[in-house]
Amino acid sequence: AAGMFLRLLSDIQWRAAHPKWRRMTSSQRSTSTTAEPHPVSLPAQAQVVICGGGIMGTSVAYHLSKMGWKDIVLLEQGRLAAGTTRFCAGIVSTARPVSVELKMAHYSNKLYQQLEQETGVQTGYMKTGSISLAQTQDRLISLKRIASSLNVMGIPCEIISPKKVLQLHPLINIHDLVGAMYVPEDALVSSANVSLALATAASRNGVQIHERTTVSHITVQKGRVTGVETDRGRIQCEYFVNCAGQWAYELGHSGEEPVHIPLHACEHFYLLTHPLKEPLSSSLPTVVDPDGRIYIRNWQGGILSGGFEKNPKPLFTEGRNQLEIQNLQEDWDHFGPLLSALLRRMPGLEALQIMQLVNCPESFTPDMRCIMGESPTARGYFVLAGMNSAGISYGGGAGKYLAEWMVNGYPSANVWPLDVKRFGTLQSSRTFLRHRVMEVMPLMYDLKVPRWDFQTGRQLRTSPLYDRLDAQGARWMEKHGFERVKYFVPPGKDLLDLDHSKTFYKPDWFDIVGSEVKCCKEAVCVIDMSSFTKFEISSTGDQALESLQYLFSNDLDVPVGHVVHTGMLNEKGGYENDCSIARLSKRSFFMISPTDQQVHCWSWLKNHLPDDSNLVMEDVTWKYTALNLIGPRAVDVLSELSYAPMTAEHFPSLFCKEMSVGYANGIRVMSITHTGEPGFVLYIPIEYALHVYNEVMNMGQKYGIRNAGYYALRSLRIEKFFAFWGQDLDAFTTPMECGREFQVKLEKGMQFLGQEALLEQKQNGVYKRFTMFILEDHDTDMDLWPWWGEPIFRNGRYVGKTTSSAYSYTLERHVCLGFVHHFDEKTGEELVVTTDFINQGEYEIDIAGQRFQAKAKLYPFSSLFTQRRRKDEVELSGYQRE
């Protein structure tokens, strides 16, 4: 039956031009089970070895060979396009919430459209369009948000009425619909044939393809890939690309030094039917009914319909080969709810005859985004896997980005949301993955409202104060496995209600966070910020200073005890990381970076620091609990606890000192708060954490101290126009573009990474500018709230997107931060963005299709700073992270 399916689904038409390869594959197709002698032996060495002949592997091979790399070997354990790719439903859909995913899908669509012409392989490409249905107003809002971002990318897309839905697809029952989104250029393909077409083109470009070759492990020496061991011998190589799909996790763990690729397979079911009496047209649009958890496409006159059920069935947790993919059983009882949803959506299909229920495993990742990039532990080891069932939509674009990454050192777009380095070993537990993907799979079609959190795999990394804070009403979110407080529910509030506060509008915690913010402004608050990544770098001589001076743009040769905010930039001047570095002594530095930088920053430093045994770097994240004391009374609390004067004369801003707090000694106190408000962060060795916390809370009572969470911090930093890395800042943003020139010391007397690019920008100007927007006619109570990713319009023309937003309790207005570009009105070419350009525009922010007037500002409100503070105490800018 499986063999029949291969033919039914993909209609393989094999016309590879490469004679060597055609012989090999055709002989194997005729005898599918017996192993044969391989006509072509493996080369002894190659520049690149790709493992996996699915859509990902073939796409990487295709793009690498197009970019001029020729010495490439692609290995496939079975046959090309025979795994998940073969069974994939073949829907190319561009409606993706994350911008880089949207770009990949858009590129894939364009690529597949011309692929048949390019290669001569029939891909079954058919532009059918797709309709995403909304059964609720909230769903319609989420579709409108996606529609906004598709439109500004030039992808046709419209929100349509139920009546229009019926015109596009006569079988749909529209009685329970409130609207829909129509994307006319979405397409259908035969995914196996797309993969074969890519392989054909790659093969013509010189890529060697070997089927029935199993990779056993990768050899790594001195942190670099050196070769690949297969069941047919060894290939020496410089680069290895793991495109092994659902087996990528295990392949990553097969070597001596594991490469963590956190993904896990789940069974995925779809139904195939015989043709209707009057066969469905092959141009009929694909229907996605997320509230019913199903998708429906036309298929050979009948339909193909699958979905993402509430109770997924994870598999292969214990490892591969328990059962072959081919032996997976149909499970009608499991599919029942999806079948109900299908018949509810298309009642006319009752009499349609079933052909088969296909069980096709898909791999899912802990955060629903795919995994690509270079391993932090083995240079030259690249990964592209974990497509969360959107492999065919992403295939083309993902392969292109990865090829660019390998050839150019970095892709042409910011792919941090997909970077394998966003994960560490902690997301690699099989139990964690099994539990998390059971949440992720239904989430594919769940409504995602602002600030949703994962519920599984929680309480993994916690601060020593976790229980104390939890008992005081803390509500938690998770970052990089670490539990962080969102806000504290005051006693007596209805808790159940707060848990159901997920909405696109004003959330229930509005007043709670408001009072925390007020306390930060008027008294003092404590926020546990232990999750931040903390490194110590020291050396016997000047090596530490010299190396860091090269890697950071600000001048680190400051007196001992000073704290420096600085970017860690790449060659193009873009932010690889944004940190605060304290000079602890002449030869040692303490570095604070965002929580999710733990793996990325470590590997960046490892790759860039000289290999010198006198230079020591240590990850001390786990050693310290960080308490952020924010507010005008923080100084009083701390001086009472330490019997040391903490006023600005004795303890100026951006200063770091080890001191005693309560009974505990050796507390690292820094006069920064990450918010622009006055205060201190205390880095406390963990065994003192509870003591210091108790002392602070006791002593703080008379100053009105209270606990606060990250939502308060976020509101504070955004109204102060502080950008943070990972949200506002990325590898494609330079300090010049976000008003942080003062953190760059071009004249510090030595070369640093990114210097040339910044010099050039200084002379020629920047092409985008980080800007703060105050929403003018936005009603906080009644209107949709901004989140991030909202299009920005200047004088009615699209100029960029927001990157973060928050309600400012001080301004009593919403504040959005985002980047403004200057596109030439005629050519669309990017022009230099000047201060005048920013200041002389009328701005609007598009929230789910509704535009709100906004006032643009390039500098924060000074009035916010001067209350109760002298000007020289101010942390003058822009440093913040979440």
Partner 1 sequence: FYLTPPQVNSILKANEYSFKVPEFDGKNVSSVLGFDSNQLPANAPIEDRRSAATCLQTRGMLLGVFDGHAGCACAQAVSERLFYYIAVSLLPHETLLEIENAVESGRALLPILQWHKHPNDYFSKEASKLYFNSLRTYWQELIDLNSGETTDVREALINAFKRLDNDISLEAQVGDPNSFLNYLVLRVAFSGATACVAHVDGVDLHIANTGDSRAMLGVQEEDGSWSAVNLSYDHNAQNEREVERVKMEHPKSEEKSLVKQDRLLGLLMPFRAFGDVKFKWSIELQKRVIESGPDQLNDNEYTKFIPPNYYTPPYLTAEPEVIHHRLRPQDKFLVLATDGLWETMHRQDVARIVGEYLTGVHHQQPIAVGGYKVTLGQMHGLLTERRARISSVFEDQNAATHLIRHAVGNNEFGTVDHERLSKMLSLPEELARMYRDDITIIVVQFNSHVIGAYQDEE
Nearer to partner 1, 325 or 847 (CB): 325
Q: Which of 878, 547, 574 lies closest to 743, judged by CA?
A: 878
Near partner 1 by CB under 8 A: residue from 333, 649, 781, 812: 333
Residue 27 zone, left/alpha/beta (φ > 0; ψ -120 to 50; rest): alpha
Interface segment toward partner 1; rule CB under 8 A; list 348-356, 624-632, 821-829, 852-860:
348-356
Minimum distance of partner 1 from residue 353's CB (angstroms): 6
Contact call for residues 820 and 768 (beta carbons, < 8 A) = yes
176 φ/ψ angles, rounded to the nearest 5 degrees: -105, 15
Check residue 352 for interaction with partner 1 (CB under 8 A). Answer: yes
Minimum distance of partner 1 from residue 146's CB (angstroms): 30
Q: How many residues bind partner 1 (CB under 8 A)?
A: 21
Please state, in angstroms and rounded to a whole number, the distance separating the CA atoms of residues 853 and 675.
Answer: 26
Burial group, residue 706, by CB count within 10 angstroms (0-12, 13-18, 19+): buried
Contact call for residues 650 and 656 (beta carbons, < 8 A) = no
Pairing of strands 797-808, 791-794: antiparallel
Q: Which of 800, 722, 143, 811 lies closest to 514, judged by CA?
A: 811
Contact call for residues 778 and 851 (beta carbons, < 8 A) = no
Near partner 1 by CB under 8 A: residue from 80, 339, 568, 847: 339
Check residue 780 for interaction with partner 1 (CB under 8 A). Answer: no
Contact call for residues 235 and 46 (beta carbons, < 8 A) = yes
Check residue 747 for interaction with partner 1 (CB under 8 A). Answer: no
Interface segment toward partner 1; rule CB under 8 A; list 100-108, 333-341, 448-456, 865-873:
333-341
Check residue 340 for interaction with partner 1 (CB under 8 A). Answer: yes
Render 388-439 in DSSP notation, one character per residue.
TT-HHHHHHHHHHHHHHHHHHSS-SS--GGGBGGG--GGGG-HHHHHHHHHH
Helices within 481-563 (DSSP H only): 495-499, 510-522, 543-551
Contact call for residues 708 and 716 (beta carbons, < 8 A) = no
Near partner 1 by CB under 8 A: residue from 231, 331, 499, 777: 331
Check residue 359 for interaction with partner 1 (CB under 8 A). Answer: no
Interface segment toward partner 1; rule CB under 8 A; list 149-157, 353-361, 650-658, 800-808:
353-361
Check residue 744 for interaction with partner 1 (CB under 8 A). Answer: no
Nearer to partner 1, 335 or 589 (CB): 335
697 φ/ψ angles, rounded to the nearest 5 degrees: -70, -40
Minimum distance of partner 1 from residue 381's CB (angstroms): 38
Minimum distance of partner 1 from residue 334's CB (angstroms): 10
Q: Which of 433, 455, 432 lies closest to 443, judged by CA?
A: 455
Check residue 343 for interaction with partner 1 (CB under 8 A). Answer: yes
Please state, in angstroms and rounded to a whole number, the distance separating the CA atoms of residues 741 and 743.
Answer: 5
Nearer to partner 1, 322 or 839 (CB): 322
Please state, in angstroms and rounded to a whole number, the distance separating the CA atoms of residues 362 and 87.
Answer: 10
Near partner 1 by CB under 8 A: residue from 135, 151, 254, 356: 356
Check residue 171 for interaction with partner 1 (CB under 8 A). Answer: no
Check residue 318 for interaction with partner 1 (CB under 8 A). Answer: no
Nearer to partner 1, 273 or 733 (CB): 273
Nearer to partner 1, 35 or 351 (CB): 351
Nearer to partner 1, 327 or 353 (CB): 353
Nearer to partner 1, 434 or 717 (CB): 434
- x/- site string to partner 1, residues 786 to 815, per CB under 8 A? ------------------------------
Interface segment toward partner 1; rule CB under 8 A; list 13-21, 334-342, 588-596, 766-774:
334-342
Burial group, residue 222, by CB count within 10 angstroms (0-12, 13-18, 19+): exposed
Nearer to partner 1, 271 or 433 (CB): 271
Q: For the chain, how many residues are written?
A: 882
Q: Which two tokens stand for residue 553?
A: 């743009």
Near partner 1 by CB under 8 A: residue from 206, 319, 336, 490: 336
Q: Which two tokens stand for residue 387?
A: 């497509």
Near partner 1 by CB under 8 A: residue from 349, 616, 648, 697: 349
Near partner 1 by CB under 8 A: residue from 329, 456, 540, 585: 329
Nearer to partner 1, 281 or 329 (CB): 329
Please state, in angstroms and rounded to a whole number, the distance separating the CA atoms of residues 723 and 738.
Answer: 8
Check residue 168 for interaction with partner 1 (CB under 8 A). Answer: no
| 535: helix, strand or coil | strand
Minimum distance of partner 1 from residue 343's CB (angstroms): 6
Render 659-682 in DSSP notation, one character per residue.
EEETTEEEEEEES--SSSSSEEEE
Nearer to partner 1, 333 or 872 (CB): 333
Check residue 322 for interaction with partner 1 (CB under 8 A). Answer: no
Q: Which of 239, 96, 246, 83 lies closest to 157, judged by CA?
A: 96
Q: Which of 389, 177, 168, 394 lies closest to 286, judged by CA?
A: 168
Please state, in angstroms and rounded to a whole number, the distance separating the CA atoms of residues 697 and 692.
Answer: 8
Minimum distance of partner 1 from residue 332's CB (angstroms): 4
Nearer to partner 1, 267 or 695 (CB): 267
Minimum distance of partner 1 from residue 254's CB (angstroms): 29
Check residue 354 for interaction with partner 1 (CB under 8 A). Answer: yes
Site for partner 1 in 232-291 (CB under 8 A): 271, 273
Nearer to partner 1, 228 or 339 (CB): 339
> Which residues, including other chains, have CB under 8 Å from residue 499's CB and lie 6 or more apart?
none
Neighbours of 562 (CB within 10 A): 15
Check residue 173 for interaction with partner 1 (CB under 8 A). Answer: no
Near partner 1 by CB under 8 A: residue from 61, 100, 215, 342: 342
Contact call for residues 291 and 310 (beta carbons, < 8 A) = no
Interface segment toward partner 1; rule CB under 8 A; list 164-172, 219-227, 344-352, 604-612:
344-352
Check residue 4 for interaction with partner 1 (CB under 8 A). Answer: no
Near partner 1 by CB under 8 A: residue from 31, 167, 353, 613: 353
Interface segment toward partner 1; rule CB under 8 A; list 8-16, 88-96, 347-355, 678-686:
347-355
Please state, in angstroms and rounded to a whole number, the distance separating the CA atoms of residues 800 and 792.
Answer: 5
> Which residues, including other chains, have CB under 8 Å from residue 878's CB and lie 6 or more apart?
565, 721, 722, 723, 738, 739, 740, 743
Contact call for residues 32 and 211 (beta carbons, < 8 A) = no
Minimum distance of partner 1 from residue 357's CB (angstroms): 7
Query: CA separation (Å) from 314 to 54, 263, 414, 437?
Result: 21, 11, 31, 7
Q: Specify the residue for token string 């030259």.
A: 380
Near partner 1 by CB under 8 A: residue from 36, 158, 324, 330: 330
Nearer to partner 1, 278 or 333 (CB): 333
| 140: helix, strand or coil | helix
Nearer to partner 1, 40 or 354 (CB): 354
748 φ/ψ angles, rounded to the nearest 5 degrees: -80, 5
Burial group, residue 606, by CB count within 10 angstroms (0-12, 13-18, 19+): middle
Interface segment toward partner 1; rule CB under 8 A; list 128-136, 324-332, 495-503, 655-663:
324-332
Q: Which two tokens stand for residue 60?
A: 């990487």
Near partner 1 by CB under 8 A: residue from 332, 622, 663, 742: 332
Nearer to partner 1, 333 or 781 (CB): 333
Note the residues at the interface with partner 1 (CB under 8 A): 271, 273, 329-333, 335-336, 339-340, 342-343, 349-354, 356-357
